[in-house]
Amino acid sequence: MGRVTIGEFARASGLSPKALRLYDDLGLLRPAYVDPANGYRFYEDGQLEQARLVAWLRRLGMPLARIRDVCALEGNEGARAVKEFWARAESDHAARRGMAAFLTDHLQAEPERSRPPMGLRYAGLSDRGRSRETHQDAVYAGRAVLAVADGFGPYGEAAGKAAVEAMGRVDLAGLAPQAVPGALRDAVEGARAAVLTAVRAAGRAAGGEEGSGGERARSAGERAGEGRFAGAGAERAGGEGAEEERAGEDPAGSEHAGGERAGESGSTLTALCWTGSRLALLHVGDGRAYLLRGGRLSRLTEDHTLVGFMVEDGRLTPEEAAAHPQRALLLRALADDDGPLPSSADTRLRHVRPGDRYLVCTDGLSAVAAEEDIQRVLAAAAGPRHAVRELVRLAHTFGAPDNIACAVADVVVERNPAGPGAGRTG
C-alpha cells in the first residue's frame, strides 16, 4: 500500500478520517508524514495493525486514554490489560442490567395501597446426597430471608455457612423501594466479607493461611471435605442423607464443606429477602431461583457460569450446556476481589401476589432435575415443608450425585399481620 492519504487509510483500517485526526491530536496514532504546506496527513502500511487494534478496542468501549496505555504494552501484558478491562465491563453491565430489571419491576408493580397485607410461609432443607462424603451446601429459611449457598475450596464449609448466616441478618422490612438496591449491595458486600473472614479463620484453625477467591472448576466428582450443621429444630426428611430442615424459625446457621485446590475458597449465594410487600432477589453464582405462579414455573436467575455465558451469547444451546464438561466453571462468586472471580450480584425487586410459591436451590437440585419435574413437585406440594422434602426426594430419584439445598416460600394474605416483616411457619 505504501504511503496513502488519510481517506485511503481510513477505509483500510476501519476508522473514520475524523477519528484518525482525533487520535493524532491525542498522540494515540500519529501519521507517518504531514505535508508542511497543506497539513495533509499520510499513513504507511506498518501502521495498519495498530490502527485496527485501536478500532477493535473502541468497539469494546475502551476509553481512549486506556487504549493508549494498552497500545504501549507488549503482547502478553496487552492481552492481560484487555482481559481485565472486559471483566470489569461485564461486571458493570451486569450491575446495570440488574438495575434495569429492578426499575422494570418497580414501575410495573401495583400501587401499595391496593394490596392486602401479606406474609410468608417458608421451609428449608439441605441434604448431603448419595455420592458425597461431605456436605457443602448451606440453607437458611427465616421470616425475612430465604438463602442457599454452595461453598467451594478447602474451607468451603465455612464459606457457605458464613454466606447464609450473613444473609440471615439482613432485614429489608419497611424499606422504600428506592432504598432496596443500596441495601442489597450492602448485603452482598456483607456476605462476601463474612465469607472471607470465615475462610481465613478456618485456614488458621487448620494450621495454614488460606486466601479465598480463585476460580472454581468443579464437576460431579471433584468436591470433598466434611461437615454438618444442624440448628435448633433440625430434622431428617426427604430420603437418604438428609441433613436438616428449617421451617418457621430463624436458625443459627447452616452447613457446608469444601475440597478443591488449596488457596481457593468461596461460595455462591442465591437469596430472597422479604420487604413486607415485595421480594428482593440477590444472586451470585449457579444457584437458582424460581417462581410458581398460576401453575406456571418461571426461572428468575441466570447461571454465572462459563456455559451460561455461552448460552446467553448464542454459542451453546441449553441442551449442549447441560452436557458440557465445563458446565460448573463459575464466572462469579463470593470470593476475594483480588482473585479472578468478581462478586457482583444480580439484584431485583419483585412484586408478589398471594398464592405465589418461590424456590431457591443449589445446583444439586437444578443440575439433575428438569424444570418440568420441579414444576410438578412444587405444584403438587401441600405447603413449603412438604415441597422441600419432595424436592430433595426428586433429586434422589436422579441419583443425588451432589449436595442439595433448597428453600420454599408461599406468599399468603395475613389476616392479623404483625407488621411489615411478619412471616409464618411452613
Residue 80 lies in a domain: no
Query: Which residue would you say has higher pLDDT here, 121 or 417?
Result: 121
Residue 98 lies in a domain: no
Q: Are residues 61 and 134 located together in one domain of the fold?
A: no
pLDDT tens column, 132-171: 877 889 999 999 999 999 999 889 899 999 999 999 999 9
Residue 145 lies in a domain: yes
Query: What local confidence, expressed as pLDDT, does residue 131 receive?
Result: 84
Q: Are residues 219 and 355 located together in one domain of the fold?
A: yes
Residue 139 lies in a domain: yes
Query: Which residue would you say has higher pLDDT here, 210 or 389?
Result: 389
CATH code at 9? 1.10.1660.10
Query: What local confidence, expressed as pLDDT, does residue 133 receive?
Result: 77
Residue 221 lies in a domain: yes
Residue 239 lies in a domain: yes
User: From CA 294, how far away is CA 118, in angstroms rounded?
Assistant: 18
Q: Are residues 32 and 160 located together in one domain of the fold?
A: no
Q: Are residues 129 and 23 located together in one domain of the fold?
A: no
Domain boundary (37, 72, 107) is at: 72
Q: How does strand 33-34 pair with strand 41-43?
A: antiparallel
User: From CA 254, how far away is CA 191, in angstroms rounded?
Assistant: 14
Q: Are residues 16 and 143 located together in one domain of the fold?
A: no
Domain boundary (19, 49, 72) is at: 72
Q: Are residues 213 and 344 located together in one domain of the fold?
A: yes
Q: pLDDT band for position 426 (50/70/90)?
A: very low
CATH code at 140? 3.60.40.10
pLDDT tens column, 296-332: 999 999 999 888 877 776 777 877 877 777 777 888 8
Q: Are residues 420 and 307 located together in one domain of the fold?
A: yes
Please count the other Cβ atoms lying within 10 Å of the Cβ belonging to residue 30: 15
Query: What local confidence, expressed as pLDDT, does residue 212 receive?
Result: 41
Say if residues 150 and 250 touch (Cβ distance below 8 Å): no
Q: pLDDT band for position 253 (50/70/90)?
A: very low
Domain boundary (36, 54, 72) is at: 72
Q: pLDDT band for position 369 (50/70/90)?
A: very high
**Does pLDDT of 417 surpass 60?**
no
Q: Are residues 39 and 141 located together in one domain of the fold?
A: no
pLDDT tens column, 26-64: 888 889 999 999 889 999 988 888 888 888 888 788 888
Query: What local confidence, expressed as pLDDT, does residue 254 receive?
Result: 33
Domain count, the chain: 2
- Which range marks the domain in which residue 370 is found? 116-425
pLDDT tens column, 66-106: 888 888 888 788 888 888 888 777 766 766 666 676 666 66
Q: Are residues 43 and 149 located together in one domain of the fold?
A: no
User: From CA 183, how far away is CA 102, in angstroms rounded?
Assistant: 13
